[in-house]
Chain A
Amino acid sequence: MSENQRPMVDPALLRGLTMPRMTRRAALRGAGLAGMAAALAACGVKGTSKAAPPADEVKAFWDKQTKANVLNFANWPAYIDTDPVNGKTTLQRFTDSTGIKVNYKEVIQDNDSFLGKITPSLRAGQDTGWDLMVITNGGSIEKLIRQNFLQELDTARMPNFNQYASAQFKNPSYDPGNKHSVAWQSGITAIGYNPKLTGREITSFDDLFDPKFKGRVGMFGDNVDLPNFTMVGLGIKPETSTEADWRRAADKLKQQRDSGILRKYIDNAGEIQGLESGDLWLSMAYSGDIFQINAELEKAGKAGAIKFVIPEQGGMLWTDNMCIPLKAKHPLDALTYMDFVYKPDIAAQLAAFIEYITPAQDGAKAAMQSQIPTAKGDEKSTLEAAVKDPLIFPTAQDLSNTHRYRVLTVDEEKVWNSIFEPIVQS
């Protein structure tokens, strides 16, 4: 049939047939979609930040506080002395001298999940149930400070802190002027290794990239220690690093991962298990964890089988901080405790037991030295070892060879995560 033979059709009818018309079904569908869009838009998630209180309010707050003689203290496992010295642990001494009873709970397994538990209360402006908690720098305490979730401190009320806190643990970059926190203990992130398995002493960051150790190297699978330590290894100062530096570190890590040198990105304290079982020959490690392995190995008669070294390029120095969550019920009791642990004999007793870097370096050392002559037996040898222990009293050289974490803004954190998350999540 050719073109001109086509039957004539009324153009109006044609238009009517082909024009889109609103049927009931289509109308319902349209309404459904619109309703869906409204529902989607209504699901926005509110921000968590609170506004900072004015300065005079902080002083007024502390002026009206009274001691309640109760303290709810959230800390990490195995992070306080449990063997009495001269009949008392430091917690018992605290109760004796202040009358404050401490509910000490080891509830913090890692920063993220603990913060996850308390953030809803903080966001709602409610008591979290804790008066005092120990939170690490390098992201976690910064987040709390940034969102104004911590009670501002009045350090004028902390005489021991003012007198004995060592300069390097006071006024940290992540909390200028100790406005929200004071140090509990510090530690170093560097390299732990088994000299028998590696067959040589480990001295350099580059040893973590040696093909000879293929499949035997462990790195922390977090996005704080791993990126910062890698930058140190590459000779970059993490504190002042730029996005280009982050990408360089990421490239280095990608290479280590894809060449199979890296066995595994390990969890918090995962290097203990790996080094002990021999699955790992060398690994990024926390100074205190290596002490723990060695304490166990010593009992098994294999002292010094695992070593800890700050490589020539340097290590990371981190600090766990005591802080008071907003709306805590017993803030003055918490503040009293925060100051109490800076007393030299208390700091000494605590550090000798848990073997982390005490923030009251000179005071604790002097207290230990003065106790040595009168101490007996085990206590004497513990003290003698502790005074010389670089894990408690690192040398100035050790400390000068450590770096602090990069402090990130919210926007920088997004870039940082987008660079390092795909490395760890491989």
Chain B
Amino acid sequence: MSAVSARRRFRLAPYLLALPGIVWLAVFFVVPIVMTLSVSLQTGDVERGFQFTWHFANYSDAMGRYHVQFVRSLFYGLTVTGATFVLGYPMAYWIAFHGGRRKSFYLFLLLLPFFVSFVIRTVAWQFILSDNGILLGPLKDLHLLPSNFHVLATSLAVIGGLTYNFLPFMVLPLFVSLERIDPELVEAANDLYASRVRAFLRVVFPLSIPGVFAGVLLTFVPAAADYVSASILGGTRTTMIGNVIQTLYLTNNDYPLASALSFILMAVLIVGVMVYARVLGTERVYEVAGG
């Protein structure tokens, strides 16, 4: 064997090592994306078949008909991200700094709901929030609430359901980044006459930014695309884009319109995430991912 071919083999090694990943991406990401893109530009119907016709009007049709649901999904996603952050940060902070020996137990408690199916948990909320159910019923009997007050079938119910379901996705990355902060850094800040608030704002919070970044991503993207909460807890004017896409695909068999909507959603999310990463700095992601 010559030295040249050995060197060539050596040069190829990284590519060969990357091969499984590339094949995976090609089969499960590139192919579906290209097909979705293709279908989104087709015309026809499910019985006579769809033909590829560069029909860009699918995109304008989709946005013309469903921009309300689209904007609403993004709004819900942002609200949910904000709500999970406000609820989750203190939680993660407390577990990280005051959890002591029971840290893993508290994390387990946080994950416990995951042992029950997503749908079942959401249906349970439907039961709890029912107009005359175990929560609102007694309050109404005591005349603390007007008799026609309801939570179900409102945006509040959907946002609440989403917040509940996605809370752990926010808390876990926050916990990971907070847990890595050396408590002595806070002590050092105190030694330098920083108040507790100032020490938090200048030391702890900046060090937890990678966790914030990951938590926001993990919450916002799936929350904006969710369709379970809206269909179980929502009513009129709470439909999210995921519900629309599901109905278009499965009930109406309008594959082109559904694909166009999926594609727009994906594009908007990717662009949003890229802008967000640019603002916070991408290296932060690697920091968290590298854990």
Interface residue ranges, A against B (CB under 8 Å): 36, 39-49, 112-113, 116, 143, 146-147, 214-216, 223, 257, 260, 262-265, 277-279, 410-411, 413-414, 417-418, 421-422, 424-426
Contact = CB atoms under 8 A, between A and B. Distances in A.
Contact of B34 (A43, A113, A262): A43
- Candidate in B46, B243, B248 with the most chain A CB atoms within 10 angstroms: B46
Contacts of A223: 251-252
Task: Please tell me the size bucket of the interface on B.
Answer: 35 or more
B167 interface: no
Interface of B: 34-35, 37-39, 41-42, 44-52, 65-66, 68-69, 130-133, 148, 150, 152-153, 234-237, 239, 243-244, 247-248, 250-252, 254-255
A277 B239 contact: no
Contact of B239 (A49, A417, A425): A425
Given A215-B148, A279-B131, A425-B247, A43 B52 contact: yes
A425 B244 contact: yes
Given A257-B236, A277-B130, A279-B152, A44 B42 contact: yes
Contacts of A113: 250
B42 A143 contact: no
Given A43-B38, A425-B243, A48 B50 contact: no
A112 B251 contact: yes
Contact of B49 (A44, A215, A414): A44
B47 A146 contact: yes
Given A45-B42, A424-B247, 12 more contacts: A36-B34, A40-B37, A41-B38, A45-B44, A49-B48, A116-B250, A147-B47, A264-B235, A279-B132, A414-B254, A418-B65, A425-B247
Contacts of A36: 34
Nearest to B241: A425
5 closest residue pairs by CB, A with B: A47-B49, A43-B38, A264-B235, A40-B38, A45-B50
A411 B47 CA distance: 11
- Candidate in A43, A265, A277 with the most chain B CB atoms within 10 angstroms: A43
Contact of A410 (B45, B68, B131): B45
A397 B52 CA distance: 52
A147 B133 CA distance: 47
B19 to A, nearest CB: 21
Given A112-B250, A426-B237, A278 B47 contact: no
Contact of A425 (B42, B45, B66): B66
A41 B52 contact: yes
